[in-house]
Structure formats: structure tokens, C-alpha cells
Amino acid sequence: MKIRTKISFSIIGSILVTSLILTGIITFQARNFLRNDAITIMNTITEAEAIKIERKIDNVKQVVENIINIYEKTLDLEKIRDNQELIDSYEDEVENLMEGIIVKAGTRNAWWQGNTKAFGGISLVSIKELGGKLVRDEKWDVIGSEFEQDEWWAGPIKHGTNWSEPYYFDEWQANLISYGKRLDYKGQFLGIAGVEFYIDDLKEALASIKILQSGYMVLLNERGDILYHPDEKITKASDLSKEIGEIFTSNSQIKNASINFNLNGEDKLFVYTRLSNGWVLAANPVAKEMYAKVFDLQKIIIIVLLVIIVLGFMYSLILSTSLAKPIKEMALKFKSLAQGNIKQKINLKSKDEIGEMAKEFNEFTDKLGKTIFDIQNLTSEVSNSNDILKKSMDNLINGEESKYYKELSTKLKRGIFQLNHSIEVVLDNVRNQTASTEESLAALEEISATSQFISDNIKTTEASFAETIKIAKNSSKDIGEMSQSIGEISTSMNLTNMEIDKLKTISDNIGDIVTAINSIAEKTNLLALNAAIEAARAGEAGKGFAVVADEIRKLAEQTNMETDKISDLIENVRKGVDNVREGGVIVNKKVEAGLKLSQLSIENINRITEHALKNDSDIKEISSSINEQVTASNEVTTAIDTIAQSSIEIESLSLDTSSISNDIKDSLIEKQDLINSLNELVETLKKDLDFFKI
């Protein structure tokens, strides 16, 4: 490719790259501007719609609060509890108040479901619009029914308040969401107040909003379920995108934000605001509609770019023509220089960069001619020096076996090869010495290990005997203490027997008292009978006395019954006392036998301690002898180990010396090859230098 063409392409390429960069920057900035502008507009739309929805939500919440206020201010549960007539009257009163709340708020229903499990009787008060009128639902109890686990009931119980999933109500032919709130009464769950929220009204309002050409609004509840989306197949936030789904799974509390996502191959923007009840309202504009103005701007930039390229091409042709002529002349001179004609000169008088280049070219050829002349002389000297170095290197490697040995004035009889042979002989002798030393060391280490094993076992046995003596002494002490405790138990049992005898005497005395009470009761009974007979003789005058006599008779009979019970109880106590006394006698005998056995155990343990002390003394003497033998064996082993380590170090050093000698030999041979190669290069350089005409 000619230089003129290259210059043209360079200029056009620079213009093209610069234009593309500017286009990219302008497009990027424009997209950002339009995106931010669109987000601002979307935020305005979503916030305006959010305010409308918040009003409806607040209206629903206020209806529920008003119902709860009714119960909090008017309910006297203690008064009406378990009185169905009062309960019915109270529910009628609540119904009238609820109708007023519904009419004022403009809702279509309101309800109260009581907790009959805790507060019996107060169940359902539910009013709804039907056929243009407010009617009351029939009573029914949710407790124990199939609806007890439904969200409208279980949700407020668990969370305090709850917005249910959307459901379809056949009587109203509408989609609804139930809002409920829990009410507690003196720390107990009383019931739930609620109202239905018309989701269809919201859907119609959101469906009427158009975002640019084909964008739309989306409404989701606090769990990420779709409450409104034009595509009814999309039911959850995660159906839109993973990032949108994470708004509801990551416990994020961000009120306003935007997310880019792709749905069905179309790039979109999710600009959302969070409502007070956790719902999310979002605007979804289509990206290509947002950036429509950017596409128009790109077309204008492309047209301007084409015009700049055409003008640049024309300028490059003019510029390249003015530069090509002197450059062509210089190319011819360089071609002649390449053929070995160093005497070439460029006659160019221009003051620009090309003129400077011609001047530098002329100076370069002058210096190049002088340099080549000097190199030719130096090459001859290097060739002679390399020849001498090659012969000396061969003598250093092979010694007197070198083929150049006789030609050298300064020479060596023994070279690297002879040195390697001597080192290998020394290495073999060191290896033999190391092997013998290691065999001796292994035998001594085995003897030392055996002695050490015996010493360790004796130490273990000595420690065991010491522990045995200690245990025997402690056992003797413990048995002595146990014997003392058994004596104390015997003394306590004797005292207990004395108390038992006293208890028996007391129980006998109580028996005598009971016998006396029985005698008195029988006499009282007889006296009451006589009094009754006398009262009967007295007629009407004796009726009052007859009543008293009858009461005395009953008291005497009751006294007889109670004294019989006491007699039985005293008899049981006597039997128990006799059994305890017999048990005490047996315990005394066992205690005496225990004292004799404990004395015998103390004597046996003392004899064991004496024998153990004697064995301990003998073991200590054996241990001392074994320790002296182990010390001597370890000293010999250490000395031989030192010799072995020294032999190993000598062997290692010999191996290192042999390795270094081999490395030197290989290095010298390599250097000899390099010197030969250098000689060949010098000869080649001489031939190349003869090419130049100086």
C-alpha cells in the first residue's frame, strides 16, 4: 500500500473513530437524560395514583377503626355474658351504628366476627349492600368451622392486621380484598373487625393509565402477588424478573426506586413506590419508547458523520500528494543503501521534517561507513583471540590428552575429567565408612531402647505402688470414719427405741381416753332417750324439749362414730409402733456386725500397706541401677551418632563437590561449543562486511 493511501486512510480513520466516540458519548448522555426524565415522570404518575389508593386504604382502615371503637366504648361484657337476650339487643345496637359508618364512608359492607371460644354468645354482626340496600347476614360461628384457618380470620389473629389475597364474591360479581384488625379485651382475644376492599375499582383506574405508547401500571401486595397487571398470566413479582422479586423477599423498605428488566424479549423499566400497607405501585414504560428521541438524534449524527468523512477524504488526497514526492526520492536512496552503496547522499533543501530526515540520512551514511571499517578491523582481532581461547579450553577439560596440548606454551597435565575420577574414588570410601557406622549405631540404639523400656516400666510400677500405698492409707482412714459413723447410728437407734416406747405408752393412754368418751356418749344417748319420753308425756309443752333431746341423741351417736374411728386409728398406730421397734432391734444387730467387720478391714489394710512399702523400696533400688545403665548406653550411642552424622556430612560434601565438578565440566564443554560457534559467526561477519562499498 502506497504512503499516499495510508495517509488518506489514517485521516479518514481518525475522523471516523472520533465521530464514533462523540456519537457514543452523546447517545449515552442522551439516554441517561431521557431515562432520568422518564423516571421523574413515572415517579410523579405513581405518586399521584398512590395518593388516590392511599385515600381508599385509609377509608377502609378508618371504617375498621370505627367498628373497633364501638366495641371498646360500648361493650360491657361482664353484664351481657351468657345472657342471650342482652347479647341480641347489644348486637342490634352495634348493627345500627355500623350502618351509619358504612353510609358515611361510602363502603359496601362492614363486619364483626367474635371469639365465641373465649366470650360465648357474641358471634357475627355483618352488614352488606345487596340490591341497593344494606342487609344483615345470618349469624354463624367461625370457631370450629372450615373457615377457622382462612386468611381473613387467621391473619389478623397472628399479625394484628391483615390484607387478604384477592377473591371473587359471587353476590357482588366483583374481586375483593378483605382487611381485618384484631381487638383484645382485658388481655384476651375478643374478635376481628373488617371490611371488603374493591380491587376492581383500582384495576379499572390503573388500566386507564397509559405510559408513553404501550407502557402500563402494575399493583402488587406486600407478599409480591400481582393485584393488577394487563397480562393475567403474570401472578407474582418474580414472573417479571428476579430483581423485582427480591424487593419482597429481601425485607427491603425502600419507598421509591427503579429497576431495569426484560419481559418477553422487551426491555422495560420498573419505577415503583411503596404504599403504607406494604403494597407496591409501579409504572412500566417500554425502553425503546423512552429512547425514541435518541434514535432520531443518532440519524442526524450519522448524516453529519458522512459529510465529515467525504471532506476528510478530499483533504487527505491533497495532503498525501504533497508528501509523497520527497518520500519517494528517499525510498530510492534507501534502496541503493540496502545494496551496499554507503556513499549515497540525498539532495533535499526543504525546511520541514522530511528535509531534516534527509540531513540525518546523510550524516547516518557517513557514520555507518566509518563504523563498518572499524568493525572489520575488530573482527580480525576477535578471530585470533577466539582461536587461542578454544585451544586453552580444550586443554582445561582434557589435560594432557588434549589434541592442542603440544601447541600451547602454558598448559595443564590434569584436566576436569581427571579431577572427577579422583573425587569419585574418595566418595566410594566415605560411603563404605558411613554404612559401617550406621550398622553399629542401629545396634546400640536397639540396646538403649530396650534399657529405656525397662526403666519406664519400673517407673510406672513404682508410681503404681506409691498410689496403692496412698489408696490403702486413705481406705484405712475411711473405714475408721465409717466405723465411727456406725457407732453413732447405733446410739441413735437406741434413743429411737426409747422414743418408740414412750409413743406406745401415749397411744395406750389415748385408748383409755377414747373408752371413757364412748362410755359418756352411751350415757348421753340414754339420757336423751329418757328426755324424749318425758317430753312426749308433757304433750304440747314438751315439744321444744323433745327437739333438744333429739339433737343431744344425734350428737351422742356422732360421738360414738368418731370415737370408733379414733379407736381404729390408735390400733393402727400401735401396730406401726410395734413394727418400728422390731425393725430397730434388727438394725442394732446389723450395726454391731458392721463394727466388727470394719475393725477386721482396718487390720487387713494395715498389713497390705506394710508389704507394699517393702516392695516399693526394692523397686527403687532396681530403678536406680537401670537408670545408670541407660545413661551409659545413651552416651555411647550419642558418640557413634556424631561419627555417623560426620560421615554423612562428608559424603554430602563429596557429592556436592562431584556435582560441582560435573557442572564445571559441562559448562566448559558448553562454552567450548559457544567459542566454536563464535568463530563461525566471526567468519560470517567478515563475509557480510565485505558486501559494503566504503
Q: In the prediction, which pLDDT does 475 show? A: 65
By the 10 Å C-beta count (0-12 exposed, 13-18 middle, 19+ buried), 67 is classed as buried
DSSP assignment of 116-163, as one string? TTTSTT--EEEEEEETTEEEEPPP---TTSTTTTSHHHHHHHHHSEEE
Residue among 290, 287, 285 nearest 216 (CA) = 285
More confident residue, 665 or 215: 215
One domain, residues 424 and 282: no
SS (H, E, C) 243-273: HHHHHHHCCCCCCEEEEEEEECCEEEEEEEE
pTM of the model: 0.43
Residue range 331-377, pLDDT digits in tens: 776 777 666 676 667 776 667 766 777 777 677 777 777 777 777 67
Asked whether residue 532 is domain-assigned, the answer is: yes
Asked whether residue 374 is domain-assigned, the answer is: no
Residue 610: how many CB atoms within 10 A of its CB?
Answer: 10
Instruction: Quote the percentage of the chain above a pLDDT of 90.
Output: 16
What amino acid is encoded at 153 in this protein?
A: W
HSE-CB of 137 using CA atoms within 13 angstroms: 16
Asked whether residue 5 is domain-assigned, the answer is: no
Cell of 338: 540496502
**Alpha carbon separation from 692 to 367, 382, 684 (Å, rounded):** 13, 20, 14
The two most distant CA atoms of the chain are separated, in Å, by 185
Asked whether residue 406 is domain-assigned, the answer is: no
What confidence category does residue 88 fall into, taking pLDDT thresholds of 50, 70 and 90?
confident
Residue range 161-180, pLDDT digits in tens: 999 999 998 888 899 999 99
Strand ranges for 120-187 from DSSP E: 124-130, 133-136, 161-163, 167-169, 174-185
Does the pLDDT value for residue 626 go beyond 70?
A: no
Q: Which of 232, 267, 290 is the last residue of a domain?
A: 290
Does the pLDDT value for residue 657 go beyond 60?
A: yes
Phi/psi for 269 (5° steps) reads -125, 135
Does the pLDDT value for residue 1 go beyond 60?
A: no
Instruction: Report the chain's terminal Cα–Cα distance, integer Å.
Output: 34
Phi/psi for 12 (5° steps) reads -65, -40
* Torsion 208-47-105-159 (CA) sign: positive
Residue among 285, 157, 150, 165 nearest 221 (CA) = 165
DSSP assignment of 41-53, as one string? HHHHHHHHHHHHH
What confidence category does residue 116 fall into, taking pLDDT thresholds of 50, 70 and 90?
confident
What's 164's DSSP letter? P
Residue range 481-505, pLDDT digits in tens: 666 766 676 676 677 667 767 766 7
Residue 42: how many CB atoms within 10 A of its CB?
Answer: 26
Split into its structural domains, the chain has a count of 2
Does the pLDDT value for residue 421 go beyond 90?
A: no
491-526 per-residue burial string, b: 16 or more CB within 10 A, e: under 16 = eebeebbeebeebbeebeebbeebeebbeebeebbe
Does the pLDDT value for residue 536 go beyond 80?
A: no
Cell of 335: 534502496
CATH code for the domain of 462: 1.10.287
User: Listing from the earlier edge strand, what are the strands of the sheet with 280-284?
Assistant: 226-228, 216-220, 280-284, 266-274, 256-263
Q: In the prediction, which pLDDT does 35 show? A: 77
Are 49 and 281 contacting, i.e. CB atoms less than 8 angstroms apart? Answer: yes
Q: In the prediction, which pLDDT does 295 show? A: 66
Q: Which of 243, 274, 290 is the last residue of a domain?
A: 290
Q: In the prediction, which pLDDT does 82 show? A: 78
**Locus of grid cell 552503496:** 341
Asked whether residue 452 is domain-assigned, the answer is: yes
Mean pLDDT of the chain: 77
Q: In the prediction, which pLDDT does 191 show? A: 92
Q: For the residues 460-479, what does the mean pLDDT come to?
A: 70
Asked whether residue 331 is domain-assigned, the answer is: no
Does the pLDDT value for residue 600 go beyond 60?
A: yes
312/428 Cα distance (integer angstroms): 85
Q: For the residues 259-266, what does the mean pLDDT come to?
A: 88
CATH code for the domain of 245: 3.30.450.20
Does the pLDDT value for residue 454 go beyond 70?
A: no
Phi/psi for 301 (5° steps) reads -65, -40
Q: In the prediction, which pLDDT does 195 show? A: 95
Asked whether residue 124 is domain-assigned, the answer is: yes
Q: How many helices (H) and strands (E) would you count in the chain?
A: 12, 12
Q: Which of 290, 316, 335 is the last residue of a domain?
A: 290
Cell of 206: 390503573
What confidence category does residue 603 fall into, taking pLDDT thresholds of 50, 70 and 90?
confident
Q: Domain span at residue 217?
A: 21-290
Residue range 202-260, pLDDT digits in tens: 899 899 988 888 899 999 998 899 999 999 899 999 999 988 988 888 767 788 888 98
Q: For the residues 16-45, what does the mean pLDDT come to?
A: 78
One domain, residues 426 and 278: no
Can you say how many angstroms the Cα of residue 431 is from the centroid of all Cα atoms in its chain? 60
Phi/psi for 102 (5° steps) reads -65, -45
What confidence category does residue 596 fall into, taking pLDDT thresholds of 50, 70 and 90?
confident
Q: In the prediction, which pLDDT does 672 show? A: 67
Phi/psi for 486 (5° steps) reads -65, -40
Does the pLDDT value for residue 266 go beyond 90?
A: no
Residue 45: how many CB atoms within 10 A of its CB?
Answer: 19
Residue range 393-405, pLDDT digits in tens: 776 677 777 777 7
More confident residue, 195 or 517: 195
One domain, residues 282 and 429: no
136/128 Cα distance (integer angstroms): 6
Asked whether residue 9 is domain-assigned, the answer is: no
Question: Which residues, 6+ apart, have CB-to-CB distance to 578 below 8 Å?
Answer: 504
Which range, 24-33, 168-177, 383-392, 403-412, has the best average confidence (pLDDT)? Answer: 168-177
Q: For the residues 11-26, what does the mean pLDDT come to?
A: 75
Cell of 632: 551409659
Residue 68: how many CB atoms within 10 A of its CB?
Answer: 18
